[in-house]
């Protein structure tokens, strides 16, 4: 019940930003239900990293397809010239 109260307070009051602060409020040694605080910069960095890795995967896939079909692609290019 106390953990639920601290969880609700953590959602409303943004000054509680770590598990350690919540543990001090409840005088407990272990808390698992308190969400961790993540600054917006870390979230933005994760999104940028995910987009970069996604683009890298697409470029790799295009390279694999080009390698597999290189004879067909070169025949099409020779036909066109």
Give 21 or 70, the one with higher predicted confidence. Answer: 70
Backbone angles phi, psi at 29, to 5 degrees: -95, -30
Count the neighbouring beta carbons within 10 Å of the beta carbon of residue 10.
21
Give the tens place of pLDDT for each residue, 1-42. Answer: 666 776 666 666 666 667 677 677 777 666 555 566 777 888
The verdict on 76 and 59 lying in the same domain is yes
**Number of domains the chain is built from:** 2
The verdict on 33 and 44 lying in the same domain is no
Q: How far apart are CA 30 and CA 55, in angstroms?
A: 41
pLDDT > 90? residue 59: yes
Domain holding 29, by residue range, is 1-37
The verdict on 33 and 45 lying in the same domain is no
Assess contact for 52 and 22: CB atoms under 8 A: no
The verdict on 32 and 63 lying in the same domain is no
The verdict on 2 and 33 lying in the same domain is yes
The verdict on 57 and 45 lying in the same domain is yes
DSSP-assigned letter for residue 71: H
The verdict on 28 and 44 lying in the same domain is no
């Amino acid at each position: 019940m106390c953990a639920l109260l601290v969880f609700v307070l953590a959602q409303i009051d943004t000054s509680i930003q770590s598990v350690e602060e919540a543990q001090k409020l409840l005088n407990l040694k272990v808390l698992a239900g308190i969400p961790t605080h993540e600054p917006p910069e870390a979230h933005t960095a994760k999104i940028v990293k995910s987009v970069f890795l996604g683009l890298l995967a697409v470029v790799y896939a295009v390279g694999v397809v080009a390698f597999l079909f290189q004879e067909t692609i070169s025949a099409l290019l020779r036909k066109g010239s």
